[in-house]
Structures are given as C-alpha cells and as structure tokens.
Amino acid sequence: MYTLTNVKAYYDSPRGPIKAVDDVSLEIRPNEILGIAGESGCGKSTLIKVIYGHINPPLRLVSGEIRAEMKDNGQVSVLSAKDLPKVWWEFISYVPQASMSVLNPVMRIENQFFDAVSRFHRAGNREQIRQQVADYLQELDLPVEVLKAYPHQLSGGMRQRVLVALATFLHPQIILADEPTTALDVVVQRGILRMLTRVQQTMGNTLIIVSHDMGVHYQITHRMAIMYAGQLVEVGPTERIFSAAQHPYTEMLIKSLPRIGDHSAREGISGRPPSLLDPPPGCPFAPRCPHAMDICTQARPPLVQIEDDHLSACFLHEEAMAAAHAQKVGAQS
Ligand code: SF4
C-alpha cells in the first residue's frame, strides 16, 4: 500500500510558487493498474515525480505525507518521500515518455542494464547479469540482439520496449509510466500497452500510467484519478468513470473521445486549464464549467465519496456541499 495524504508540491519560481500538486490525497493499491488522466498542464507528470520521490529544486514538497510500505523477504518497511530514491528500481520504477533522453546515446543497451543493475542492486557478476537480462528480454518477446545495439540503432517503439524491460527487470512493486505511448503510432502503442499489462499481470504489482488519452485508460486501467489544476477532481473504478462520471470535467473528457462508427462532431472542452501560478479561488474548473454556481467561485469543493470507492469534488453533489458547509462552520467556531 502507498498513500499520499494532503500532499502539496510546488515549483519555486521568481513569480511565486507554481502549485503543480495542490492538496492531493490518493491511495495506491497493490496489484492494480491506476490511470492518472487530465489535460496537459494539470500536474500529472509532477504527481508522478512526487510518487517516485524525485523531488528536487525547483520542485519542493510543501506539506502532506507520503507513506509507502515496501515488502522485502516477508519484512515490511515503511518509507517516506526521502527514502524512495534509495529503493528506485527495486521497489519503485519509472518509465519516462522520452526514451532518447533517458537512454545514454553512447552506451550499448547491455551496458545500460549492467550500469542500472549494479548501481541499485546486489548484483552478481557481469556474465550472470547478462544472462538474466537476456532471459528477461526473451520472456518479454524482445530480441536479445538489442543488447548489443546503441539506442539510435533502435526504432522509437523498440527503445520504449527496452525502457519498459529496464524499469521492470528487478520486479519493482510499483511501476510508473509517464505517457509511455506518446509519439508512437497506433500499432506500436498497442504493443507497448500490451507489454506493460502483461508485466503487471505476471508480477502482480502496481502499474500507474499517466496519459492524456482517455482511450488508453479505458483499455487497460482498473481505477482512474482525474486531475485538474493540480488537484484530483474524481477518483474511481474505470468502469464507473466511463459509465457514470460524476465530475463535469470528467464528463467533458469522455465526450471528447472519438467513437468507432459515430461520425458526429466530438465536443471539445472550450478554454484552457488555469495557470498553476495563480489558480482561481474556489473550484478551479469554474471558468469552464457549464454548471458553475455562485458557490463554485467562493469555495473549493472537497473530494467526497459519492458511491462505493468513487470520489468526486463538485458542488453538484450534496455531499460536497454539506462537507464545505461543515468546514465553514468549523472554521468560524
Ligand atoms: Fe462546476 Fe461548480 Fe462542480 Fe466546479 S464545483 S465542477 S464549477 S459545478
């Protein structure tokens, strides 16, 4: 289990803090595929950095708690944000979106595996590691010949597959994938998604996938967290998100999805997400929301449970209205 509780992580800037993750609470469960969705600029990639424990200036953990339970040989250790970099690769691993910027261009793939494994893991000798890597690539249906290649000699899709193999080689309990299919053609995308889900099913670990593409979430995730302006606005089972979205923003994201056989014009979402430097008071979606009411510009709607395992932050729900009222009364007394 991994939990974030009221986490705020801001980028320091000369114009003030950029509130990329602003009071996020989220439970990450074992053996699930969790999707984080939302438009560009809503804080998804920063949230992934925070979950990974990659919090370096100008990014700063302002407040809140990060708590991860790592199981190792039957023992459970409790980790905080500062402990996470020590357990990268073994406990938590990251598949970034730009494979070329991550893989060392002047190092053969084989040496990149060796480098990563020996730096972060109780490694055996080089020949043992080489054999283990070759076996693992075969398990993933990747040609062993890639080990002798330099990154530029591989296609974008193959480089991305190599990154998935590299990130999962040590069987981490949590795998983070940030837009892993961006800039790849549809067939390659499908292959990468299939590879990620296969790895997750085989290892029984947690896969967290960030994508602005709702179609990706529909295909592979079990649960989804919808992010807007650095905040979570809806969290729930993927099936319920698509069949009974509770937040107007989620509804609009789903309506903008193309459907096979439906040739009617898709509804885009007018306007843009607010600046994270100066988000509007109250509900950050209010300037774009067709249902906005007076209260929406005055108070921030809390994330409340609407149905079993399904949370939403919108004043259209009586539960959110009641929680906001209780908060106000509490603050006044
Ligand atoms: Fe729209 Fe108000 Fe709900 Fe925000 S709280 S999504 S502005 S109805």
DSSP string across 176-189: EEESTTTTS-HHHH
Handedness of CA 94, 63, 277, 275 (dihedral sign): positive
> Is 302 a pocket residue for ligand 1 (Cβ < 6 Å)?
no
> Is 148 a pocket residue for ligand 1 (Cβ < 6 Å)?
no
Residue 197, in any domain of the structure: no
Query: In sequence order, what are the residues at sequence separation of 6 or more whose Cβ sits closer than 8 angstroms to the Cβ of residue 308?
Result: none
Res. 36: pLDDT tops 80:
yes
pLDDT, position 125 = 81
Residue 99, in any domain of the structure: no
Residue 10, in any domain of the structure: yes
Nearest CA to ligand 1 atom 7: 286
**Cα atoms found within 13 Å of the Cα of residue 126, Cβ hemisphere only:** 5
Residue 218, in any domain of the structure: yes
> Is 289 a pocket residue for ligand 1 (Cβ < 6 Å)?
yes
Q: How far is CA 262 from the centre of its chain?
A: 30
Residue 140, in any domain of the structure: no
Instruction: Among 252, 289, 297, say which to mutate for ligand 1: greatest number of ligand atoms within 8 Å of CB.
Output: 289
pLDDT category at 319 given cuts 50, 70, 90 is: confident
Work out the average pLDDT over 103-127. 82
**Which ligand 1 atom sits nearest the alpha carbon of residue 247?**
6
Q: How far is the CA of 116 from the centre of ligand 1 (A)?
A: 46
pTM of structure? 0.92
> Is 292 a pocket residue for ligand 1 (Cβ < 6 Å)?
yes
Q: Supply φ then ψ for residue 65, to 5 degrees.
A: -125, 140
Residue 154, in any domain of the structure: no
Domain total of the chain? 1
Quick: pLDDT tens for 39-88: 999 999 999 999 999 999 999 999 999 999 998 878 889 999 999 999 99
Residue with the two structure tokens 């069949």: 243
pLDDT, position 122 = 60
> Is 301 a pocket residue for ligand 1 (Cβ < 6 Å)?
yes
Residue with the two structure tokens 């539960």: 319
Residues facing residue 94 across a β-bridge: 176
Structure tokens at 305: 């449970």
Cβ-contact 13, 58 below 8 angstroms:
yes
Percent of the chain with pLDDT over 90: 72
- Give the structural domain span for 42: 1-91+180-185+206-258+268-301+314-319
Cβ-contact 35, 209 below 8 angstroms:
yes
**Which ligand 1 atom sits nearest the alpha carbon of residue 249?**
6
Q: What CATH number should be reported for the domain holding residue 80?
A: 3.40.50.300
Instruction: Among 228, 316, 317, 319, say which to mutate for ligand 1: greatest number of ligand atoms within 8 Å of CB.
Output: 316
* Distance from C-alpha of 251 to C-alpha of 233, rounded to nearest angstrom: 11
- Measured at the CA of 277, the angle between CA 250 and CA 38, to 5 degrees, comes to 20
Q: How far is the CA of 325 from the centre of ligand 1 (A)?
A: 16
Residue 331, in any domain of the structure: no
Res. 269: pLDDT tops 80:
no
Residue 101, in any domain of the structure: no
Instruction: Among 233, 294, 297, 315, say which to mutate for ligand 1: greatest number of ligand atoms within 8 Å of CB.
Output: 315
